[in-house]
Amino acid sequence: MGPSRCSRPGSSREPAEGRYRLAAPLLRRAAECNLPHVATEPGTLALLVAARDQPGVLYRVTETIYRYGGNVTYVSTARAAEGRSETQLEVSGVADAEGLMSELRALEPVDSIGEVPSFQAVFGKRVIVIGGGAQVGMVAQGAISEADRHNIRGERISVDTIPLVGEERLAAAVRAVARLHRARALVLAGALMGGDITEAVREIQAAGIIVVCLSMAGSVTEVADLVVSDPLEAGVMAVMLVADTASFSIDRVRGRRF
């Protein structure tokens, strides 16, 4: 078998697939090296970089992206083991994607690089459900059923949940939603929420997150964008609020109770 196409030109090192087994299956399945078309949103180049896990690697990768006029819109460590790491970067504004990938592949710490679908293209917008276990389960059921209806028609909407209790932990989780990649809406499902949770809701609303809550005791209902009594309906409406395939806007229902 000849050397991998992902090996650096002139290198006598073992091909990346044999040496770094974490990334190889992902790159083969997603878009090893240079697949002509990988589904992603327009203008975004998503790359999976497998490299040695050492100081300065991310700097060298992003410095190269900068020289090609790219703007890194998302970066995350996919996995790390055995002194190796995988990092996914999503980049906009690159006119010469082939040139960028070729130069990144030639970097000394880089084992392999491949183009993959962006998280937006695969998982799309995120609806987050936080609160008591029983209520979270019912909201998630409604949200997943509605997301399925829209995703069949070409949308990409995913639903994430976490059951939590306690004002401090709930408030921290609510604030974290504004830092979650692709998060568009939050549903608060519980029987009593207020205090610092209410302040956290105001903060993430200022960051553009839509907040839906169940009808409950506490001051959260006074600041939420939408209050819904039925948990299933709350999940359905949260998905409809973020779906491009739905004729439903928060501007038309903000402040209302259902």
Residues 125 and 182: beta-carbon distance below 8 Å = yes
| Local confidence band at 1 (pLDDT 50, 70, 90 cut-offs) | very low
Which of 95, 117, 139 corresponds to the end of one domain? Answer: 117
Q: Are residues 74 and 166 in the same domain?
A: no
Residue 113, pLDDT above cutoff 60:
yes
> Mean pLDDT, the chain, as a whole number?
84
Q: Are residues 106 and 167 in the same domain?
A: no
Q: Are residues 146 and 230 in the same domain?
A: yes
Cα distance between residue 137 and residue 133, in whole Å: 6
Token readout for 182 is 């692709």
The CATH number linked to 137 is 3.40.50.10550
Return the ∠ at Cα 49 (arms to 86 and 107), rounded to 5°: 125
Instruction: Tell me whether residue 9 is in a domain.
Output: no
| Local confidence band at 42 (pLDDT 50, 70, 90 cut-offs) | low
| Local confidence band at 35 (pLDDT 50, 70, 90 cut-offs) | very low
Instruction: Tell me whether residue 6 is in a domain.
Output: no
Q: Are residues 189 and 70 in the same domain?
A: no
| Local confidence band at 3 (pLDDT 50, 70, 90 cut-offs) | very low
Mean pLDDT, residues 106-131: 92
**What is the model's pLDDT at position 135?**
92
Look at the block and give the residue holding tokens 């001051």.
Answer: 219
Instruction: Tell me whether residue 51 is in a domain.
Output: yes
Residue 32, pLDDT above cutoff 60:
no
**b or e along 11-39 (b: 16 or more beta carbons within 10 Å of the residue's beta carbon)?**
eeeebbbebbebbbebbeebbbbbeeebe
Q: Are residues 96 and 171 in the same domain?
A: no
| Local confidence band at 41 (pLDDT 50, 70, 90 cut-offs) | low
Write phi, then psi, for 31 (nearest 5 degrees). Answer: 180, 70
Residues 90 and 150: beta-carbon distance below 8 Å = no
Instruction: Tell me whether residue 250 is in a domain.
Output: yes
Count CB neighbours of 204 within 10 A. Answer: 21
Instruction: Tell me whether residue 95 is in a domain.
Output: yes
**What is the model's pLDDT at position 65?**
95
Start-to-end Cα distance in the chain: 65
Mean pLDDT, residues 197-213: 96
Instruction: Tell me whether residue 69 is in a domain.
Output: yes
Q: Are residues 32 and 150 in the same domain?
A: no
Task: Identify the helix (H) or strand (E) that includes residue 63.
Answer: helix 57-67
| Local confidence band at 252 (pLDDT 50, 70, 90 cut-offs) | confident
Tell me the per-residue pLDDT of 131-187, one tens digit each, with 9 for 90 and over.
988 999 999 999 999 999 999 999 999 999 999 999 999 999 999 999 999 999 999
Which of 117, 143, 161 corresponds to the end of one domain? Answer: 117
Write phi, then psi, for 119 (nearest 5 degrees). Answer: -65, -30
Q: Are residues 112 and 152 in the same domain?
A: no
**What is the model's pLDDT at position 240?**
93
**What is the model's pLDDT at position 28?**
43
Which of 79, 98, 117 corresponds to the end of one domain? Answer: 117
Q: Are residues 160 and 139 in the same domain?
A: yes
Q: Are residues 146 and 238 in the same domain?
A: yes
Look at the block and give the residue holding tokens 């974290």.
Answer: 176
Q: Strand 210-214 and strand 226-228: pairing? A: parallel
The CATH number linked to 89 is 3.30.70.260
Cα distance between residue 46 and residue 155, in whole Å: 19
Residue 230, pLDDT above cutoff 60:
yes
Q: Is 215 exposed, middle or buried (0-12, 13-18, 19+ CB in 10 A)?
A: middle
Mean pLDDT, residues 104-132: 92
Q: What is the pTM of this model?
A: 0.76
Instruction: Tell me whether residue 8 is in a domain.
Output: no
Residue 34, pLDDT above cutoff 50:
no
Instruction: Tell me whether residue 172 is in a domain.
Output: yes
Q: Are residues 130 and 94 in the same domain?
A: no
Q: Is 165 exposed, middle or buried (0-12, 13-18, 19+ CB in 10 A)?
A: exposed
Structural domain of residue 87, as residue ranges?
Answer: 16-117
Mean pLDDT, residues 67-79: 89
The number of distinct structural domains making up the chain is 2
**Which stretch of 76-80, 208-212, 215-219 has the lowest confidence by average pLDDT?**
76-80
Q: Are residues 63 and 158 in the same domain?
A: no
Q: Are residues 78 and 24 in the same domain?
A: yes
**b or e along 103-132 (b: 16 or more beta carbons within 10 Å of the residue's beta carbon)?**
bbbebebbbbbbbbbbbbbeebbbbbbbbb
